[in-house]
Amino acid sequence: MLNNKYKLGFFPTALERMDNLSKVYPNYNLYIKRDDNSGLASGGNKVRKLQFFIYEALSKGCDTIITAGAQQSNHCRQTAAACAKAGLECHLLLGGKKPKNYNGNLLLSHLLGAKIHFTGDNRKGEDIIKLKQDLEVQKRNVYEIPYGGSNLLGAYGFVDAVKELKEQLLENNLKIDYIFFASSSGGTQAGLKLGIDLYDLDIKLMPISIDKIGLGDKTLDDVVLEILHQGQKELSIQKTYSIKDATLIRDYDKPGYGVITENEKMAIKQLAQSEGILLDPVYSGRAFYGMIDHLQNNKIEKNSNVLFWHTGGLPANFYYSEELLK
């Protein structure tokens, strides 16, 4: 099950100590997991999920992939790259209207050969079924990847990632107490939780909510819990999950999805100018600010080893360049 992967990325991604930033926050030892360097068209965490999706699509004889997201979706850009590598036709349903100029992830998705459909207010896959039906009329064999790649199969990418992390921790004789990361569609969060329980690690997850809007009639917490229940059964995990296992930290999502504030800008600049590592303004920038706030205000136990899981997103900086320069 966890071995059914189509090789796409550069794994394992690096686990690094942030020496300079640890001096800024001397009560903590800070580390970073570099999924921004996972390969495949500028990298990102979705490569882990896509290895499972592409394997299943090919095993079913599919020739076409559909997925959805915002115009600057990292997931969609990485899906387009995965399809190019696997020889599959890629259709992206992106929210909003067609812009006059393409940049950031949208430009890269175009260069990667994706067929792009602009869907107005619908950015979370609401129109996937209709497009799938239209393509099937054209005799295409279609495989659907949900918004953000967030279902149990996608979550397996991060169950697998926890196994990778555990091996690195053992190799370096290191214990991690907290993992901070961006959570927006639920699959990464659910996969990390399942992986921690499957591989018996004592780590507290700190999922920073990025988007205050849920998925259809479900909250993101509901989506995560649903995947946890499915994964517990499929992976034979000896644990009963409740909503407290799926709860996000919602202190930082009030401005809304894709709205850049001084907090995100500060976080991006601090990591860039202390460690030479670039975040993005929508996901990792907001999550990193959430971590900084916890460090500055001692919201977590002092002398802890704290890991930030970098989920990528570099290309979006070019779309938000004017705001980042203010």
Domain edge (last residue) among 130, 149, 168: 149
Residue 185 a catalytic site member = no
Does residue 7 lie in a domain region?
no
Domain count, the chain: 2
* 270 and 297 inside one domain: yes
Does residue 83 lie in a domain region?
yes
* 204 and 293 inside one domain: yes
Domain edge (last residue) among 83, 114, 149: 149
Does residue 5 lie in a domain region?
no
* 35 and 182 inside one domain: yes
Does residue 191 lie in a domain region?
yes
What integer pLDDT is reported at residue 123 of this predicted model? 66
What integer pLDDT is reported at residue 30 of this predicted model? 99
What integer pLDDT is reported at residue 62 of this predicted model? 98
Domain edge (last residue) among 105, 128, 149: 149
Report the alpha-carbon distance of residue 275 to residue 308 in Å, rounded: 13
* 249 and 193 inside one domain: yes
Does residue 9 lie in a domain region?
no
For 83-141, the pLDDT digits (tens) are: 999 999 999 999 889 999 999 999 999 999 999 999 877 767 678 888 889 899 999 99
Enclosing domain of residue 265: 15-44+150-325
* 32 and 102 inside one domain: no
For 10-36, the pLDDT digits (tens) are: 999 999 999 999 999 999 999 999 999
Nearest to 144 by CA among 241, 247, 64: 64
Q: What does 144-166 look like in DSSP terms, one character per residue?
A: E--GGG-SHHHHHHHHHHHHHHH
Report the alpha-carbon distance of residue 298 to residue 317 in Å, rounded: 30
* 160 and 106 inside one domain: no
For 29-67, the pLDDT digits (tens) are: 999 999 999 999 999 999 999 999 999 999 999 999 999
Does residue 26 lie in a domain region?
yes
Q: Could you give the maximum distance between any two Cα atoms of the chain, in Å?
A: 61
* 26 and 130 inside one domain: no
* 33 and 60 inside one domain: no
Stretch 156-180: mean pLDDT: 99
Does residue 6 lie in a domain region?
no
* 104 and 239 inside one domain: no
Does residue 172 lie in a domain region?
yes
* 176 and 70 inside one domain: no
Identify the active-site residue in 38, 42, 73, 209.
73
Number of residues assigned to the chain: 326
- With vertex at residue 282, the alpha carbon angle to CA 278 and CA 288, rounded to the nearest 5 degrees, is 55
* 23 and 118 inside one domain: no
Report the alpha-carbon distance of residue 159 to residue 320 in Å, rounded: 32
- With vertex at residue 188, the alpha carbon angle to CA 157 and CA 308, rounded to the nearest 5 degrees, is 110
List the CATH number of the domain containing 249. 3.40.50.1100
The structure's pTM equals 0.96
* 37 and 96 inside one domain: no
Would you say residue 324 has pLDDT above 80?
yes
